[in-house]
Amino acid sequence: LLNTSTVTKVVGCKYGGPIAAVTLPVVGEKSWFSHTDIRIMTNSGNALATIAFPSAEIEQKYSPSDIMEIGFTDRAVFVIILKDSLCLTYDVTGETLLPPFFLLPRGEGQGTDLSHACVFDGGAVCFDSSSNSEYSLIISSSDCIGYCPAIQV
């Protein structure tokens, strides 16, 4: 049997948009794998951006082993969901779009450990171990309010 200590996740945006790749440790050991680069590329492999993870603001609390899911929305928003439900959003140039937020907050500055997460066309959905779920739409200020009638302005 061939053992490996890392896995590379690769995701693509719909309709031939950009792709992103990140190499993560298979085992959650933080000491030997404390940083990684997330690469955003065109569908032909030309570099668009590199995002260092974890960023300086969250470096003390997170490592690459905390990345649970990555993906693109249908508007080319790159989303990273961490194991404690922290959600990070970037554009295709690697610039932050929204301040980090918890999909399932449980207290001031704390999130809930997730059992599953998925990035989809409109945003992200996640589940904790008790089957509580959260569905978060990621929209822009130019969206028609009819896009999501549940949003309160």
Joined tokens for residue 115: 């059992």
Q: Is the pLDDT of residue 135 over 70?
A: no
Mean pLDDT (the chain) is: 84
Confidence class of residue 106 from pLDDT cuts 50, 70 and 90?
A: confident
Confidence class of residue 54 from pLDDT cuts 50, 70 and 90?
A: very high
φ, ψ of residue 120 in degrees (nearest 5): -135, -175
Residue 34, Cβ neighbours under 10 Å: how many? 14
The model's pTM: 0.84
Confidence class of residue 148 from pLDDT cuts 50, 70 and 90?
A: very low
**For residues 68 and 138, which has the higher predicted lDDT (pLDDT)?**
68
pLDDT for residue 152? 34
pLDDT for residue 1? 45
Q: Is the pLDDT of residue 114 over 60?
A: yes
Confidence class of residue 96 from pLDDT cuts 50, 70 and 90?
A: very high
pLDDT for residue 17? 87
Side chain identity at 13, as an amino acid letter?
C
Joined tokens for residue 129: 């171990």
The mean per-residue pLDDT over the stretch 33-55 comes to: 94
pLDDT for residue 140? 56
Long-range contacts of 13-19 (CB under 8 A, 24+ apart): 13/72, 13/74, 13/76, 14/72, 14/74, 14/121, 16/43, 17/43, 17/72, 17/76, 17/92, 18/42, 18/43, 18/48, 18/72, 18/76, 18/78, 18/92, 19/43
